[in-house]
Structure 1
Amino acid sequence: MNMLLAIDIGNTNVVIGIISEGIIIDQWRLTTSHTRTRDEFWVTTNLLAMNAGIKTEEIKEVIISSVVPPLTNQFYLMAKKYLNKEAIIVRHDLPLEIECLVDNPSELGADRICNIFAARDSYSLPQIVIDLGTATTFDIVDEKGRYLGGSIMPGIETASFNLVEKAAKLPKFHLAFTDSVIGKNTIQHLQAGVMWGAVDQIDGMVKRILSETNWKKCSVIATGGLAKLIARHSNSISDVDSELTLHGLWKIFRKLQRQSS
């Protein structure tokens, strides 16, 4: 079985997926660490693959999406040293036929390119793609499949962490929805404000995007670690795809493969 090693390097986590013919065989989530070396990443990847019954010699190609430049190089060198593969690195200038109507396409992160590419291929247009990660990002694709631009706001975990760090008397708290936005103690106050506030931010942004684009409706796809939780309480999210970025890596790999054959 020929397999693709797909690596999504984010600011908080690194997601490693093994994909064969578009099917995600297995995936693992590592904490992003700037101090780990290519050798350490390989030991972890190899051990996880062995535990899943996956033979690393069956990995025929490697593709990387990264928003952490130092780790891009570590994983690229890992693939070269241990798999003897030249990893594909997702960039804005790959021939993906995404028309970007923005000032500087090079500013678009690789994870967002993957999300846009996967969503455009899998969901009806026009669409808003929301990634709930370290940052919460909104990417807008019109009915012709063109990328119009987007928005970035602090991620839910990022905002809650910074709030507690900056306010001396506020305690750490678990991200969970309260039954009411009117909390009865400090923990409930924080949970209500952060979680229901995030839902209203997202629904409010979607409403504003629809107003600015004059769209009556569109697909609203959410991905990221908190996507399922937020979507249960959102009035605007139509689809949840927790593996959107990995699917995007596979679809990008296949497109480039077809172009080169």
Structure 2
Amino acid sequence: MWLAIDIGNTNIHIGIFEDDVLHSSYSVKSEISRPLLENLEKILNPAAITKPQAVVISSVNPKTEVFVIEYIQKHFFVNPQFIGKDIPIPMVVLTDQPEKVGMDRLVNALAAFERTKSWTIVIDAGTAITIDVINDRGAFMGGIIAPGMGISSKALHYYTALLPEIPITKPKSILGKNTEGAINSGIYWGTVGMVSRLISMLCDELKCQPAIIATGGDAQLLASEIRLITAVLPNLALGGIKIAYKKNLPSNLRN
């Protein structure tokens, strides 16, 4: 048994693997707090699960990363390995500064291409919305980063005197009948329109119709209105961590 952990800005995704098979997965809020510790104690309880052979982490959240490392070391006496530091990403990155591309984007891209083996667009709809392109040889070509729906709502509340912060859902109508409805409609339909238009522009520039895969907390919300999305895969990042980890093992230990 080994653990894959994807530490994001809003959520931590934990996968418990038996060899190549994802046995179970969990998602918890990544804010350092008592609830985070309690959730880790429930999911990764040394009394309930065996000591992992390895713990492999992909992280874009340094503060929470330290918290998780300390928990793993204290309870399992294992030093986690990090994607990008201890384990290289087995993917060519064709950007101006490959070393600055977020590990979350790369593990998503790795898992998506493993599934499609062709030109692919990956949409990660989380705290930020990333739209990334992988070519037909499996190289990461670059992408787009935009605000996610949640932080758009937070920004409206923070930078105005009277507008509330609200959770974003799919509206029944585009026409908001109150302040909350107007905000919800603006952020939801604005995001759908933005992502749809960006996909269209990318397809025109690439001169092909890539496979389009969505992941992240708001992926299903977007996919319900963006028909070009061919699959919604909540555990895409865990799959990318698995691929990188397995390819880095000595050949006699790979399945």
Map 1:143-162 → 2, pairs under 5 A: 143-162=136-155
Who is 1:47 aligned against?
A: 42
1:20 deviates by 1.7
Whether contact under 8 Å (2:12, 2:28) holds in the other structure is: yes
- CA distance in structure 2 between the aligned counterparts of 1:226 and 1:102, rounded to whole angstroms: 26
231, 235, 240: which is aligned to 2:232?
240
Alpha-carbon distance change, 66 to 163 in structure 1, aligned in 2, over 3 angstroms: same
Which residue is equivalent to 2:72?
79
Aligned-residue identity in percent: 30
Q: Secondary structure at the match of 1:7?
A: strand
Structure 2 unaligned blocks of 5 or more: none
Q: For the residues of structure 1 that align with 2:71 and 2:182, how far apart are their CA atoms? A: 46
TM-fit CA distance, 1:98: 0.9
Q: Is the 8 A contact 2:30 2:36 kept in 1?
A: no
Q: Is the contact made by 1:132 and 1:222 (CA closer than 8 Å) also made in structure 2?
A: yes
Q: CA separation of 1:71/1:178 partners in 2, compared to 1, >3 Å: closer, same or farther? A: closer
Q: CA deviation at 1:147?
A: 1.0
Name the structure 1 match of 2:97. Answer: 104
String of CA shifts for 1:126-174, please: whole Å, max 9, x gaps. Answer: 0011101111011110111111111100111111111122122222333
CA drift at 1:72: 2.5
**Partner SS state of residue 217, structure 2:** coil
Q: Give the secondary structure class of the aligned counterpart of 1:138.
A: strand
Q: Distance in 1 between matches of 2:150 and 2:238?
A: 22
- The TM-score normalised by the length of structure 1 is 0.87
Query: Which amino acid is the alignment partner of residue 147 of structure 1?
Result: F
Q: 2-side partners of 1:92 and 1:57: how far apart?
A: 26
Alignment partner, residue 119 of structure 1: 112
Change (3 A) 1:42 1:32: closer
Change (3 A) 1:33 1:260: farther
CA separation of 1:167 and 1:20: change in aligned 2, threshold 3 A: same
SS at match of 2:192: helix
**Aligned ranges 1:82-231 → 2 under 5 Å:** 82-91=75-84, 94-215=87-208, 217-231=209-223
Change beyond 3 A, Cα 1:42–1:260 = farther
SS at match of 1:26: strand
Aligned 8 A contact 1:41 1:78 in 2: no
- Aligned to 1:16, what secondary structure does the other structure show? strand
**Which deviates more, 247-256 or 70-79?**
70-79
Distance 1:260 1:10 in 2: 32
SS in structure 1 at match of 2:249: helix
Q: How many residues align?
A: 253
Residues 5-16 of structure 1: matches in 2 within 5 Å?
5-16=3-14
SS at match of 2:150: helix
User: Cα RMSD (Å) of the superposition?
Assistant: 2.4
Equivalent in 54, 63, 78 of residue 61 of structure 1:
54
Asked whether the 8 Å contact 1:22–1:247 carries over to 2, the reply is no
